[in-house]
Chains A and B, each alone.
Chain A
Amino acid sequence: MSTAPAATGTAIGMSGVTVRFTTRRSQTTALDDVSLDIEPGEFVTIVGPSGCGKSTLLKIVAGLVTPTSGEVSLLRRPVRGPQKEIGFVFQKAALLEWRGARANILLQAEMRGMDRARAARRADELIEMTGLTGFEKALPHELSGGMQQRVALCRALLHAPPVLLMDEPFGALDALTREQMNAELHRIWRETGTTVVLVTHSIAEAVFLGTRVVVMSPRPGRIIRTFPVELPAHRDYAQVMSDPRFDRLATELRGLLGSAAANH
């Protein structure tokens, strides 16, 4: 994937996507005329106020929600129905209650009919990388919220997907673990060249991880602006935090999000 030339096409393409949810009581416009092209190997982070349609945007890319109007493509093929060339980390961990952590991760392999031995080896690597060692057999109710999210992350990475969609994957982590997980995810992305779209409420996380930050408006969700992140491709957490470019972008994002919320 990392070798794919950027010019030949987009990994994810959305043009004029509008989503309206009609329930018995009301009609909600979750996304309004959203267009976004993501090149292979990009790391796009999305920030925006709660309820602006960030989760919906990811589900549209995954083919789990059909847009009311507009075109969506994934890996240059139009999206019709659920896509499987992806790893999806849901906002809730969405683990199977009756399976231990490792078995939950291996669900990915079972559902895809992957080679068992290889999947098991990879699962063990991921478990070690995310600091879940010793909890392989623990059931979800025996894990903390942050650990559950890490299990969900391992599950999404197990099959080394070309596209990774992540919905606030580190929301339930403490600050320190979150930094570690950010650094780890950054490393994975650099090494694999996976295309990543990550939704977050943390401006620091958005800037540290992203090659591009997309800012969305309050509902109905529109893209207000996208910012290229002018930081080196290979980032170190401490260095980035003390970089003046980081500060400038973070301040700008904060201002934009604040004014967007105020104008609403």
Chain B
Amino acid sequence: MTENSLDTAGRRAAVDKASGEGAAAPTLASEGAPGAVDDAHSSRVASPPPGGRPPRPTLGRRAAALADSLWRPALVLVAFFVAWWFVAAREYVPNYLVPTPGQVWTTMTNQWSELARHTMVTLYETVLGFVLAAALGLATAVAIAYSRTLDKALYPIVLFAQVIPKIAIAPLLVVWFGLGLTPKIILAVLIAFFPVVISGVAGLRSTDPELLDLSATMGAGPWRTFRKIRFPNALPHLMAGLKVAVTLAVVGAVVGEFVGASEGLGYVLLLANGNLDSALLFADLILMSAIGIVLFVLVEIAEALLIPWHASRRVGVSLTTS
């Protein structure tokens, strides 16, 4: 019970820190500001944990824990923007190479409708590629984990598909499938597929043999064993693989657009580069990164919802108490 209470304290701390985040970040960014905010929320952290059995972590609490894990990178990002602004505004580097954040902002707002359209195209390719890669990757992982024969047959192909430089086959895909969305999606699938397979196989193979014995004494068939034991057991591994895969899917889509496209952020990037329009180029880069980050965070949230029981999810929360 004490362990549970401590856990609650940890989550509380997480919530408090997260709510203090908005105020804390500018404090540190602007020099010499008072540390009052910090004191305020550290005293709230010290509030005694409630007695009795704590409630299950709610969605709000989980989101708060997630926000807590994000404020540090946010801080680094702010520092980075300040440095960028400083370098560009003072013209230490010529303006046509590095635009100021203000110029990028203006470009982004002025050309928003166009940029939004291209972003949606790239997002569509990425998401579709990622979903297909996840489905195909999981199916392949199941085949490999369950069958020795398929293991021997499929593993070399999977490995080959991985070591082949995807960028090198991009032109070929364009020749085969034209300038439409298909080659981009295929490229995203090819590049995101591998981490899903590897993590899926590792997860499915990590089932405690004793649990499989248990399942056998319960007379359960392979499907029930998969659904109730092997698959949930594989989820922590699989989610790790999916997080890698989703960021790679963006790369796949953009590379596909580089090779031959009439829309998408990769296409805009080439245009901006050709016109030496550095502001547009930067705006484009920011949007690409935003796609990757948003999708990554979505997978993180899915992970938090699917495997709140896993050790990797518990540690993060309890560390915030120290």
Contacts and interface: CB of A to CB of B under 8 A. Distances in A.
Interface stretch (A32-40, A45-53, A94-102, A200-208): A94-102
B310 A97 contact: yes
B219 A112 contact: yes
Contact of A111 (B53, B210, B219, B309): B219
Interface stretch (B224-232, B240-248, B251-259): B224-232
A90 B214 CA distance: 8
Given A90-B210, A94-B208, A142-B3, A82 B217 contact: yes
A88 B217 contact: yes
B286 interface: no
A254 interface: no
Interface in A82-109: 82-84, 86-88, 90, 92, 94, 96-98, 107-108
A94 B210 contact: yes
Interface residues on B, range: 20 to 34
Contacts of B215: 111
The winner among A59, A107, A112 for most chain B CB atoms within 10 A is A107
B241 to A, nearest CB: 18
Contacts of A260: none
Contacts of A63: 216
A62 interface: yes
Given A110-B228, A111-B228, A94 B217 contact: no
Q: Is the interface of B mostly helix, strand, loop or mixed?
A: helix
B46 interface: no
A186 to B, nearest CB: 23
Interface string B191-233: 0000000000000000010110111111110001000110011
Given A96-B229, A96-B232, A139-B309, A90 B213 contact: yes
Nearest to B208: A94
A98 B309 contact: yes
B273 interface: no
A250 interface: no
Nearest to B314: A141
Contacts of B232: 96, 98
B307 interface: yes
A181 interface: no
A119 interface: no
A107 B228 contact: yes
A160 B208 CA distance: 25
A108 to B, nearest CB: 6
Nearest to B220: A111
A135 B305 CA distance: 22
B4 interface: yes
Contacts of B216: 63-64, 82, 84
Contacts of A87: 217
Contacts of B311: 141
A206 B206 CA distance: 35
B84 to A, nearest CB: 44
Contacts of B217: 62, 64, 82-84, 86-88
Contacts of B213: 59, 62, 64, 82, 88, 90, 94
A68 to B, nearest CB: 19
A59 B213 CA distance: 9
Nearest to B1: A142
B88 to A, nearest CB: 50
Nearest to B3: A142
B239 to A, nearest CB: 13
Given A62-B217, A111-B215, A111-B218, A142 B208 contact: no
A30 B224 CA distance: 32
A134 B311 CA distance: 23
29 contacts: A62-B213, A64-B213, A64-B216, A64-B217, A82-B213, A82-B217, A82-B219, A83-B217, A88-B217, A90-B210, A90-B213, A94-B208, A94-B210, A94-B213, A96-B211, A96-B232, A97-B310, A98-B307, A98-B309, A107-B228, A108-B218, A111-B215, A111-B219, A111-B220, A112-B218, A112-B219, A112-B220, A139-B309, A142-B4
Given A92-B210, A98-B307, 4 more contacts: A94-B208, A107-B218, A110-B224, A137-B56
